Chain A
Amino acid sequence: MRNLLLILLLALPVSAAEVRVSAAASLTDAVTEIARLYEGKTGETIVLNFGASSILATQIVNGAPADVFVSADEAQLNRVATVVRIPLLSNRLVVIGVPLLKARRIAIANPEAVPAGVYAKQWLQQRGLWTVLAPKIVPTENVRGALAAVEAGNADAAIVYATDARMARRARVAEVINDGPPIVYPAAVLRDAENAAGGRRFLDFLRSRDAGAIFRRYGFLTK
């Protein structure tokens, strides 16, 4: 039994051909597809870890192994040490449900912490609408929660990403926001990467035409 424990705790060396990628949960489908394509082309192995960008940053800050980090916002990427950093994707905000000024309850992701909510608040402030609409705002845990609130009828409008609005079953896009704050999904090779060379190659591939086509198919705007 003691031997078993020892085996359990002993570290096995990581095979050098692996590239470890931590990516924002909202990129799950697109990045999985791109990684499979890359593996098919190069024979390298991409190990994907998905989660909220804030959790991923916490893991990296605490030494969890990762070569590449694709974050849903700049703030989380700023928490970790990087060697190469690029703006990879962008997204757009949309209003779903009824037009904002007709809405009685407006769901947005937590405007204090969650990127989608922070962007939504910035846009409302730019337009001078924040003070008027603040009493009607219902904050949700994440941007999918805002979408779900409208789908379930708990709010009659929500401000979400265009990529989320594509997942909606009932709610319709009422307004595409073109004058919102710039939304950037940055990607980086991490300073503590064990496989920095592999990380750089995968980062280049994320910027390639093939990867861009996949990202756009899921509704992202490529840089």
Chain B
Amino acid sequence: MTDAAIIWFTVRMAALATALLIPPALALALLLARGTWRGKSVIETLVALPLVMPPVATGLILLKLVPHSVVFTWRAVVIAMMVMSSPFIVRAARVAFENVNPRYEQIARTLGAHEPRVFFTITLPLALRGIAGGVVLGFARALGEFGATILVAGNIPGRTTTLAVAIYDRVQLGRDSAAWPLVIAGVVVAFVAILLSEKSTRRRT
């Protein structure tokens, strides 16, 4: 498998993982930002767990939870990426929703707007910058995912080998010089993603 194919595969998987994650992550972030409910702090903590747990531990849990027919396929790659980048998107979106002044929403409601309309015309546009920052960061995290991926998706060249897994593989085999092009590609993609994330969160002055 060529380096370009590995990079392209990883970018596609990370993009799919991020896209699939956005709707549930935004829904959860909104629930966390608004209102108090039983078990809220438990859910909050659960969401943050992949951030601090060793990724291999997350991988071991996923290996137990994911159906056997999904293990060792590209679907397992996407699932590992989704789990590992979920905290970035949920937490960023939550802060962004909290920063939306609820008065605007109340005014919209008093003018007769139903809830979905309030969300899509007031809340979401006002929170969009913060959300976009989190999404880009989540995408970058998905690109670099290694520990959970190697356990649940394996290292099957041409099917599940991602950028991070390929780099580890080559270093482990003593082929450092073959690892470098992938390392450089990883640095470039991550650099651009983080730059975009910084730009989108910084408010225009």
Q: Which residues of A contact B (CB under 8 A)?
A: 1, 4-5, 8-9, 11-14, 20, 22, 25, 28-29, 32, 47-51, 55, 58-59, 62-65, 142, 144, 147-148, 164, 167
Contacts and interface: CB of A to CB of B under 8 A. Distances in A.
Given A5-B20, A48-B157, A59-B63, A64 B174 contact: no
A65 B79 CA distance: 17
B200 interface: no
Contacts of A63: 63, 68, 71
Contacts of A59: 63, 71-72, 151, 154
B173 A8 contact: no
Contacts of B71: 59, 62-65
B68 A64 contact: yes
B70 A25 contact: no
A195 B73 CA distance: 17
17 contacts: A1-B20, A8-B20, A9-B67, A9-B70, A9-B75, A11-B69, A12-B69, A47-B156, A49-B72, A50-B169, A58-B60, A58-B63, A63-B68, A65-B72, A142-B172, A144-B174, A147-B174
B78 interface: yes
Interface string B140-160: 000000000011001111011
Name B's interface SS: loop
Given A11-B70, A144-B173, 5 more contacts: A8-B75, A47-B159, A55-B150, A65-B69, A65-B72
Interface string B51-82: 00000000010011001111111010011000
Contacts of B75: 8-9
Contacts of A5: 20
B23 interface: yes
A1 B27 CA distance: 13
A6 B169 CA distance: 32
A13 B70 CA distance: 10
Contacts of B20: 1, 4-5, 8
Interface of B: 20, 23, 60, 63-64, 67-73, 75, 78-79, 150-151, 154-157, 159-160, 169, 172-174
Given A47-B156, A51-B150, A11 B67 contact: yes
Contacts of A13: 69
B107 to A, nearest CB: 30
Given A58-B60, A59-B63, A62-B64, A28 B154 contact: no
Contact of B23 (A1, A8, A58, A144): A1
Contacts of A8: 20, 75, 78-79
Contacts of B67: 9, 11
Contact of B154 (A4, A12, A49, A164): A49
Nearest to B176: A148
A51 B172 CA distance: 10
A51 B64 contact: no
B166 to A, nearest CB: 11
Given A1-B20, A9-B67, A65-B72, A25 B172 contact: yes
B68 A65 contact: yes
Nearest to B157: A48
A64 B72 CA distance: 7
Q: Report the 5 A-B pairs with minimum CB-CB distance, sorted nearest first.
A: A11-B69, A49-B154, A64-B71, A63-B68, A167-B174
A25 B154 contact: no
Contact of B156 (A1, A4, A14, A48): A48
A142 B150 CA distance: 17
Looking at A5, A11, A12, A147, the one whose CB has the most chain B CB atoms below 10 A away is A11
Given A5-B20, A9-B70, A11-B67, A64 B154 contact: yes
